[in-house]
Amino acid sequence: MSVRVRYAPSPTGELHLGSLRTVIYNWLVARQNGGTFIVRIEDTDQNRLVEGSVQRQLQDLYWMGLDPDEGVVLDEHSQVIEKGPHGPYVQSKRLDIYKKYADQLVEEGKAYRCFATAEELDEMRKAQQARGEIPKYDRRFRDLPKLESDKRATAGDSFVIRQALPLDREVKLQDIIRGELVFNTNDLDDHVLLKSDGFPTYHLASVVDDHLMEITHVIRGEEWLSSMPKNILLYEAFGWKAPDFAHLPVILGPDGRHKLSKRDGSVSVMEYREKGYLPNALFNMLTFLGWSPGTEEEFLTREELTTRFELSRVQKAPAKFSFERLDFVSGWYIRHQTVGEIASAILPYLEKANIPVEQGSFLLSVAASIQERLKHFDEAPDLTRFFFIRPTVDDTYRALIVPKKFDYITIVEVLKRVANQINEIPDDAWTIEGLEENLRLFIAMGEYSPMQVLWPIRAALTGLPASPGAFEVLHILGKTESLARIHAAVGQ
């Protein structure tokens, strides 16, 4: 059987980094084995559904280049559709299927109806806690005769269906990442399979769906590890072969003490996308978060990762997330783009910031000037605004153009001479190198200090305390615009 993996999100919010890493690992396993990557929607908790969540999560996956082969997908108009031979792929559309299999287990004596009310279960738990016991279902309806159970169900009494787990049995399980795990069924309770409203629990729905959709590998987060023995025992009850399981370590916040969350500054994948992080940066960062190729390599192409990724090399211990690392990785990928790609990427952010900009050679020069410093593209407006909008000449600006240990009158005279010098530079020397050679000669002949000349030029052109150097800014702005700004600075 070919490899088939699935990502099964709940439509209760946005896609976050932990889930995205799970998707990446599933996708890599599918791609390296010529398999199938499926998206299935687990929407049985109807009270927590968020409108538009499925579409937005899918849009994030497509932006990341993690297109599903089957299941819930987006069509050419970015609308949510279902594709494949094992549908429906939305659990709320599969209620009759879950009921059929739950009833089958009841008929075979492997599950039973529980008629306990919420009040009765609450009293049971309180009594167990009072005795110092761990609260769990006490199996009070497990031995109810089948005839009486059928009679009460026919009469309309409310019930759930619970699995009758084997008692006092050791269960050995194999996890690709964690190795052999041992559980005792006495530590488990007879969990609910089908709720009184006809909706399945995660345990029943996931097992039935994974079997019917021929899933070969269940790759999911560590939080589902406690469900694994229940899943395996349910496969056993049905007489089905279980898939291979791999439970991924949790991603910790930067302090390494708790799960990565919003309080750490973590946001949804959509927000990272809107900030202008590159999908390949997120892909590389998250793949390496808990996995290593066994070498010192820090950056691998998607094709290399597809070839070399191994689930068995994923570490068991939690992985610590670092925003600084993400920015470093993102910056590395930005530096390996072409200037044209950078210009195209920053253009929407400049337009959104109401910066007047036109595509062309000037935008390309601006993009090149910030490429080494960019970590994500939403930084572009603050880094480039001065190229497109002249600084306002006010008291703050006048104070800024004067370096320490100098006075305003002196600097104004220096800038006037600088303007004359710049005006004499021929067009064929208007390069960063040509400008530097000319102005350093001016500094030497006038017996100025570099600070006395270069700081006022840069500050006059940009209106900022920090920016690219004077030679670079002069080169990008050009002679006409540079002279206009210097003249404004000295009141001419």
For CA atoms 52, 57, 60, 62, the dihedral sign is: negative
Q: Which of 228, 224, 223, 222 is nearest to 244 (CA)?
A: 228
Query: Cβ(49)–Cβ(43) under 8 Å?
Result: yes
Confidence grade of residue 262 (pLDDT, cut at 50, 70, 90): confident
**Torsion, CA 210, CA 212, CA 213, CA 214, rounded to 10:** 80
Q: Does residue 331 form part of some domain? A: no
Find tokens 């610590």 and name the residue: 320
Task: Examine the domain organization and report whether 485 and 458 are in the same domain.
Answer: yes
What does the alpha-carbon distance between residue 203 and residue 188 come to, in Å, rounded to a whole number? 13
Q: Does residue 315 form part of some domain? A: yes
Task: Examine the domain organization and report whether 79 and 102 are in the same domain.
Answer: no
Both structure tokens of 127:
């009594």
What does the alpha-carbon distance between residue 232 and residue 277 come to, in Å, rounded to a whole number? 40
Task: Examine the domain organization and report whether 308 and 353 are in the same domain.
Answer: no
What's the confidence (pLDDT) of residue 46? Answer: 82
Q: Give the count of domains, the chain.
A: 4
Q: Does residue 233 form part of some domain? A: yes
Give the CATH number, domain containing residue 286: 3.40.50.620
Mean per-residue pLDDT, 477-484 = 96
Give the CATH number, domain containing residue 382: 1.10.8
Q: Does residue 326 form part of some domain? A: no
HSE-CB at 249 with a 13 A cutoff on CA atoms is: 24
Q: Beginning with the edge strand found earlier in the chain, give each strand of the sheet holding 111-114 in spatial order.
A: 111-114, 160-163, 192-194
Confidence grade of residue 265 (pLDDT, cut at 50, 70, 90): confident
pLDDT in tens, 271-317: 999 999 999 999 999 999 999 998 889 999 999 999 999 999 999 99
Both structure tokens of 225:
């590890």
Task: Examine the domain organization and report whether 15 and 73 are in the same domain.
Answer: yes
For CA atoms 485, 486, 487, 491, the dihedral sign is: positive
Query: Cβ(398)–Cβ(407) under 8 Å?
Result: no
pLDDT in tens, 100-132: 999 999 999 999 999 999 999 999 999 989 999
Task: Examine the domain organization and report whether 446 and 313 are in the same domain.
Answer: no
**What range does the domain containing 357 cover?**
337-386
Q: Does residue 328 form part of some domain? A: no
Confidence grade of residue 260 (pLDDT, cut at 50, 70, 90): confident
What does the alpha-carbon distance between residue 135 and residue 139 come to, in Å, rounded to a whole number? 12
Last residue of a domain, one of 291, 320, 349: 320
Q: Does residue 327 form part of some domain? A: no
Q: Active-site residue numbers? A: 262
Task: Examine the domain organization and report whether 117 and 184 are in the same domain.
Answer: yes
Task: Examine the domain organization and report whether 39 and 109 are in the same domain.
Answer: no
What's the confidence (pLDDT) of residue 89? Answer: 98
